[in-house]
Amino acid sequence: MAVKSRFFKSVNGDRKYTSADFAQYFATLITNGVFAEEQNALQVTTDNISMKTTVKTGRGFINGYYIENDADLILTHDVESIAGTNRIDRVIMKLDIANREIIISIKKGTASTTPVAPTFVQNDTIYELSLAKVTIIGGSTVINSANVVDERVYTRYKTKPAWYPEGQVPSDAWMYVMFKDKLTTQEIGDIEANPSLMDIINNSTVYDMVANKPTKWFKTTSPTTSPTTSNNTTQGYAYGDIWIDNVNQRIYYYLGNDTDGAVWLDLRAVRKVNFFDNGICGGGMTGLTGEYISNGGSDWSFNDLSTGTYFKYQVYGNDYNGGTSGWWQKYSNMMFSLKDFKKLYFKVKGNVVTTTGSQHTIQVGYRQYNSNSGASKQISVPTDNVIRIVSVDIGDLIYVSGSYGESIPDAYIFIYLSCYVNSNGTSYPSTDLTIYEIWAE
């Protein structure tokens, strides 16, 4: 095979190049498909009242050759007259080397009770690419939008890195989703002003996974009626249920209910700062600030009854006031900084070990260092031996003076565990609380 180089100035006709030479060169730079940067990018639509489809304006590229459509192109599909037999047509771009053109046309399928789309011709002289697949319903004289399936593939620059997307994810959409912070204001504005491109972005699986949407608590009547405050299971909800919301492309975890209905935690938006994952089980730094505050004479450690990635905190009725009744309150053996965080989460399981006595109440939450009960928040954990996630809001915390003379800034707290039991005077109830994870949002 000879070595070729091009393109150079011709001297006395010694450098002559054909259109195929130029096409071969351009084909090394850009892949086949539609230019997504165009406003409508050769999108195929229908009016829902006729057998016509419309190819919107845009530009395309096949094997180094270029096509531009600067006005709506109306195509009319043949009616399939026999009810019960359907047909699948394709709207295609067709490169025809012999006729020196790229055209946009209908490639008609074959009627069948189980129709399939027509295949492409892709050789050295004819090369076809699909813009859309259109199902023609037998006996109908109308093409509905639901029967038009977008099949456009988008060009990309071959000189871009290999991890750039190909096919139906344009490079502009990829950059917008994955590296928006690297784009200029002008580039972002150009992309967001392109409705066809934004439609691709907003419906992209990649965008669903990485979009920086805000954290929010989602209360809804979907997928069934909201549970009432007195019963949160009759409508099919249970703690830990996962709801995949295909309408809004989000995933939620069912936490319970309040007076407004079901409360779902948006899993994709939670910024988990897991205490266990930051060395706290071993009694090290806080993991949130890198600061060790103080032991403060607290009662329990994250090492208490440690088993793998969880621990249990146990309370027995005969440990309090001769086994009558009352509260047991204990605090973590170190303080944590929750400054700039809004919620504290506990993945927990409450369990009654001994069922004597009339009450078994377990709570988790926080109490601010050296403060009264007004600077604490707790939430009850059901004693049904079920793993669940519970949360407390982190309220406005104030500056206080530490017992060692240090100044303790706001939002330094103890993790708080408590239990209330009521004995029958002769038997002593007991309960335990298993902690699997603690994190902040």
Structure tokens belonging to residue 402: 């530490």
Fold held by 273-440: Jelly Rolls (2.60.120)
Fold held by 33-150: Tail fiber receptor-binding protein (2.80.20)
Task: Enumerate residues 6+ apart whose C-beta is below 8 A from 184.
Answer: none
DSSP state of 48: S
- Give the chain's residues under pLDDT 50: 163, 205-234, 260, 269-310, 317-324, 333, 372-374, 398-411
Instruction: Render pLDDT for 302-345 as a digit per residue (tens, 0 to 9).
Output: 444 444 444 555 555 443 344 445 555 555 545 555 555 667 77
Task: Enumerate residues 6+ apart whose C-beta is below 8 A from 364.
Answer: 346, 348, 378, 379, 381, 390, 392, 415, 416, 417, 433, 435
3-state secondary structure of 340: coil
Q: What local confidence, expressed as pLDDT, does residue 391 receive? A: 80
If residue 195 lies in a helix (H) or strand (E), which one and from where to where? helix 195-202
Q: What is 50-105 written as a DSSP string? A: SSEEEE-SEEEEETTEEEEE-S-EEEEPPP--STT-BEEEEEEEEEETTTTEEEEE
If residue 177 lies in a helix (H) or strand (E), which one and from where to where? helix 171-178
CA 293, 297, 300 angle in degrees (round to 5)?
90
Say if residues 341 and 273 touch (Cβ distance below 8 Å): yes
Across the beta sheet with 101-107, what order do the strands follow?
A: 101-107, 87-96, 126-136, 148-150
If residue 186 lies in a helix (H) or strand (E), which one and from where to where? helix 185-192
Q: What local confidence, expressed as pLDDT, does residue 339 receive? A: 56
pTM: 0.43
Segments making up each domain of the chain, as ranges? 33-150, 171-210, 217-269, 273-440
